[in-house]
Amino acid sequence: MSLKTQQSQSTRGTLIKVARELFTELGYADTPTEEIVRRAGMTRGALYHQYKDKRDLFRAVFETVERELNDRVTRAVMQETDPRAQLRAGLNAFLDGCLDPGVRRIVVLEGPAVLGLQTWRTIDDGYSFTQVRTALQVLVAAGLLADQPVDALAYLVVGALNQAALAMAVASDVRQARREFGDALARVLDALLDRQAASRSTAASSRRP
């Protein structure tokens, strides 16, 4: 890696770090570019050399936060071996991640408005939808979930997660909201997986002489 490339990466890293703090604290609209470069110890020219405008910088911050949230979910999933436990761990890790003020402000509240719904969804699908679909495919392959159009179910699960995240973002008591949504999702998963287990048990009984 050349020195110029290293310097560019360092500049981007600093801008993302500072902008993330300001976007979380003040919000996108109330964060002037002048304050970003002042806190970063840079010039406006340095910012615009790396990003074409404030929205472009916000997108870089957004993707950074999304990637960290995705990594958190992945680590939680990898600690489990049972596919059912993996799905539960992933969903809970996502809800836990939404306790972070930066996730709530940048990803949940401001992401769709600043980036536009289609761009926000495209980026989000690359993380949350992909993870949920993979988890459901594993469950189906293991016979723990009825064979069905997995994409449709994955979108429903992601939709529920996003609605939970949105409710948490505006809740007066975010930790209580996290507990309530965690309990609700657990009941939904229990119903979904227990139904398949009951079907397998019934099928096995019908085959007995």
Instruction: List, for residues 70-83, the tens digit of each pLDDT value.
Output: 999 999 999 999 99
Rounded to the nearest 10°, the torsion over CA 77, 107, 126, 12 is -100
Question: 98 in a domain, yes or no?
Answer: yes
Quote the percentage of the chain above a pLDDT of 70: 92
The C-alpha atoms of residue 161 and residue 132 are separated, in whole angstroms, by 10
CATH number of 31's domain: 1.10.10.60
Residue 209 lies in a domain: no
The answer to whether residues 105 and 182 belong to one domain is yes
The structural domain count of the chain equals 2
Global pTM value: 0.88
Q: Which amino acid is at 125?
A: D
* Greatest alpha-carbon span in the chain: 81
Are 100 and 187 members of one domain?
A: yes
17 within 8 A of 30, measured Cβ to Cβ: no
Residue in the structure block whose two tokens are 């560019």: 8
CATH number for the domain harbouring residue 119: 1.10.357.10
Please answer whether residues 37 and 47 qualify as being in contact, where contact means their C-beta atoms are separated by less than 8 angstroms. yes
Q: Residue 16: exposed, middle, or buried by beta-carbon count in 10 A (0-12, 13-18, 19+)?
A: buried
43 and 71, same domain (yes or no): no
3-state secondary structure (DSSP) of residue 70: helix
Whether residues 92 and 160 share a domain: the answer is yes
Residues 96, 154 within the same domain: yes
For residue 57, tell me if it sits in a domain. Answer: no
Together in a domain, 66 and 42: no
Kindly state whether residue 159 falls inside one of the protein's structural domains: yes
Domain assignment present for residue 83? The answer is yes
Is residue 182 situated within a structural domain?
yes
Residues 160 and 193 placed together within one structural domain of the fold:
yes
> Would you say residue 75 lies in a domain?
yes
What confidence score (pLDDT) does residue 205 get? 43
Could you report the per-residue pLDDT of 111-126, keeping only the tens digit for each? 999 999 999 999 999 9
Cα radius of gyration (the chain): 21
For 148-205, what is each residue's pLDDT tens digit? 999 999 999 999 999 999 999 999 999 999 999 999 999 999 998 876 554 554 444 4
134 vs 67: CA distance, rounded Å: 17
83 and 167, same domain (yes or no): yes
Structure tokens at 173: 């008591």
Q: Domain limits at 10?
A: 1-51
